[in-house]
Amino acid sequence: MEEKISEAIKNAIEGAPERKFVESLDIAFTIKDVDLKNPNNRIQEEIRLPNGRGKNIKIAMFAASDAAQKAKAAGIHVIDPSEIEELGKNKGTAKKLANAYDFFLSEVPHMGLIGRYLGVVLGPRGKMPRPVPPVVDPSVIANGLQSTTVVKSRDKVTFQASFGTRAQSHEELLKNAMEVYNRVTSKLERGIGNIRSLYIKTSMGPSNKIEVIN
C-alpha cells in the first residue's frame, strides 16, 4: 500500500496546476460495513504528523490576565472571554472566527460559556476549544498542535484529512500520509477490509484513486 500511496501523491502533485498559494494534500477514505450510527465505531483521531503540517497552523485562545499574556507571547491570538456572549449573538462573525483558525484553546472556566454561546458554530466544525489547565503553559499545547491533523468520520462513510502541503518533499508527505493511513486502518475492525475506496488530492486538484484490494 505504501507504494500505491507514494504513486498517488506524485500523481496528485503533477496533475494539479501551480497556484498562487501553497495547496494542502488530503487523503480521503470511504469505509464500508461499519455502523456509524453507533458512536463507538466512529473515527475520531488526532494524529501527530512526523514531518508536520507544512504550514503555520493558526491557533486562538479564550483567555484573560496571565494566561492571555502567555498565549500572546507564544504567538497565539487571544480572544477576551467578555466577547463570547456577543460573538454567540452574531452568527456571521462567529462563523468567520471559526473559519479563521485551525484550533482553539480556552482557560477552563470559560468552557461552559463557550459551549452555550458558540458550541453551535464550533461544534459542527470540530473546533471546540481544548481546555488549558492553569498549571499548563498554552505554548506547550500550541506547539503540539502545529504538527497535528484531525481525522473525524462523524456519521459519514466518507471523510478526509490534510497530511501536508506541496511545499514539503515527497518523502515527508509519504511518511505523513502513511501515519494517517495506518492510524485509520488500525481503528477499523477489519482494517483495509473496511475501506471501500481511498483517494489522494491537492486541496483544489483532481482526486487520484488508490486501488484497494480486499
Sheet strand arrangement including 208-210: 158-165, 24-31, 195-202, 208-210
pLDDT tens track for 172-197: 999 999 999 999 999 999 999 999 99
Residue 168, CA distances (Å) to 25, 102, 158, 165, 171 in order: 10, 19, 26, 6, 8
C-alpha cell at 103: 484550533
Q: What is the mean pLDDT of residues 198-205?
A: 93
Domain with CATH 3.30.190.20 in the chain: 2-54+148-210
Ordered alpha helix ranges (H), the chain:
2-15, 65-73, 84-89, 91-100, 111-122, 138-145, 170-186
CATH number of 2-54+148-210: 3.30.190.20
List, by residue range, all CATH 3.40.50.790 domains of the chain.
Answer: 59-145
Q: What is the pLDDT of residue 50?
A: 96
- How far the first Cα of the chain sits from its last, in Å, is 12
Q: What pLDDT is recorded for position 213?
A: 75
Confidence class of residue 21 from pLDDT cuts 50, 70 and 90?
confident
Q: Which single residue is written with the C-alpha cell 499574556?
A: 69
pLDDT above 70: residue 214: no
Residue 211 has pLDDT above 80, yes or no: yes
Q: What is the pTM of this model?
A: 0.84
**Cα within 13 Å of Cα(98), Cβ side:** 22
Phi-psi region of 52 (alpha: psi -120 to 50; beta: other; left: phi over 0): left
pLDDT tens per residue across span 67-96: 999 999 999 999 999 999 999 999 899 999
pLDDT at 126 (0 to 100): 85
CATH class of 59-145: alpha beta
Q: What is the pLDDT, as a whole number, of residue 178?
A: 97
Q: What is the pLDDT of residue 76?
A: 96
**78 backbone dihedrals φ, ψ, rounded to 5°:** -105, 130
Task: Write out pLDDT tens, residues 130-169.
Answer: 999 999 999 999 999 999 999 999 899 999 999 999 999 9
**The pLDDT value given to residue 20:** 84
> Residues of the chain with pLDDT > 70: what percent?
100
- Asked if residue 35 has pLDDT above 80, the reply is yes
Q: What is the pLDDT of residue 71?
A: 95
Average pLDDT over residues 108-135: 93
Of how many residues is the chain composed? 214
Question: Alpha-carbon distance 191 to 198, whole Å?
Answer: 13
Q: What is the mean pLDDT of the chain?
A: 93
Q: By CB neighbour count within 10 A (0-12 exposed, 13-18 middle, 19+ buried), where does 4 fall?
A: middle
Retrieve residue 199's grid coordinates. 483517494
